[in-house]
A = this chain, B = another copy of it.
Amino acid sequence: MGRQRPGTPTLEEVAARAGVGRGTVSRVINNAAGVRDSTRRAVQRAIAELGYVPNLAARSLAGHRADAVALVMTEPDWRLFGEPFFTEIVHAVGDALTDTPVQLLLTLVLTDTERQRFVEYARGGRVDGVLLMSVHAEDPLPDMLAKAGLPTVMLGRRSGEESVTYVDADNAGGARGAVTYLLEAGRSTIGAISGPLDMYVAQCRLRGYHDALESAGVAARSSLVVEGTDFTEESGHRAMTELLDRHPDLDAVFAASDTMAAGALHALRAAGRRVPQDVAVIGFDDFHPARRTDPPLTTVRQPLEEIGRTMVRLLQEEMEDTPVAWRQVILRTELVIRDSA
């Protein structure tokens, strides 16, 4: 295995060359105050001449910090890694970290081996904190990290009772808003294409649907709700077909994801319905399938940039010396109307 190149100059050599003590060099490279300007410049020249680069292992060991945080993807279906949802979160988190000296490390933790390796990596002190994405209900990783006392912030939650700090979109509220919009537009027979209900996010979105109906005094009918097997387009297509079968009089649909909404749209077309004239469709999220759809679908958008920023902020707070209690942040969603219902 490799190593930091032999012959790499050390802080001590820099000190010797600059004719100062090691402590002074340390102060200079850490931008600490209390160094005479002339001294500082002398040290900087020595650093440049030698091509000195601090040994990060030594710094970690002595300084008790890694200046790095991990952003962990635990999605078993690794193809989802390419989803715009994750891409944008990665970008948002990276952005939030640009003005800090912190290196962002993305890691895929899919198998048990990888989980164990990563926990050793994190507990071993190579990162100061961990950001978690797409954690499934049965994933033990958050608890392992919490038990190890590692600052951790999760995106989404595994259930209503979550044990670690998390940031989530207002799934129930977003769904409620969408369905309310449909009701106010005069739609009355509104179907729901739910995600798999063993996932908390799907439960929340379905609850929002029911809440909206209830607030409007509309009786819920269980035959108007179909649970998809997953959030895919195929699943949405099947669900929509089923829904049309049960309720040919349907005039609107709320789908728990934009991908499912796209599937629903295709099913409606295949059945000869016009969208949105005959049936209005609203999906959750706001990613590429929606963009490629014709007509473009109205969606409930999650504030991904804000989610990323918030995760970083919470993590930084947890990494501060004063340990904070874990917290929850729920961010508002936005209804993006692309075809009027």
Contact = CB atoms under 8 A, between A and B. Distances in A.
Contact of A78 (B3, B91, B129, B150): B91
Nearest to A316: B1
A167 B187 CA distance: 57
Q: Which of A1, A104, A107 has the most CB of B within 10 A?
A: A1
Contacts of A117: 101, 103
A248 interface: no
A53 B106 contact: no
Contact of A83 (B78, B82, B98): B82
B2 A129 contact: yes
Nearest to A3: B64
Contact of A5 (B78, B111, B129, B148): B148
Total copies of this chain within the assembly? 2
Contact of A114 (B60, B98, B126): B98
A318 interface: yes
Given A67-B1, A104-B108, A117-B103, A125 B55 contact: yes
Interface string A108-125: 101101100110110111
A220 interface: no
A237 B123 CA distance: 51
A105 B108 contact: no
A135 B289 CA distance: 28
Contacts of A103: 107, 117-118, 121, 126
Given A58-B61, A117-B103, A128 B90 contact: no
Nearest to A5: B149
A87 B91 contact: no
B4 A125 contact: yes
A111 B97 CA distance: 12
A56 interface: yes
A296 interface: no
B53 A120 contact: yes
A151 interface: yes
Contacts of A148: 5, 53
Contact of A57 (B3, B108, B126): B126
Contact of A61 (B55, B82, B118, B318): B55
B123 A53 contact: yes
A181 interface: no
Interface string A302-321: 00000000000000001110
A86 B83 CA distance: 12
Contacts of A87: 78-79, 81-82
A21 interface: no
Interface string A138-150: 0000000000111
12 contacts: A3-B128, A53-B123, A56-B121, A57-B57, A78-B87, A81-B91, A82-B82, A82-B84, A82-B87, A90-B108, A98-B114, A103-B121
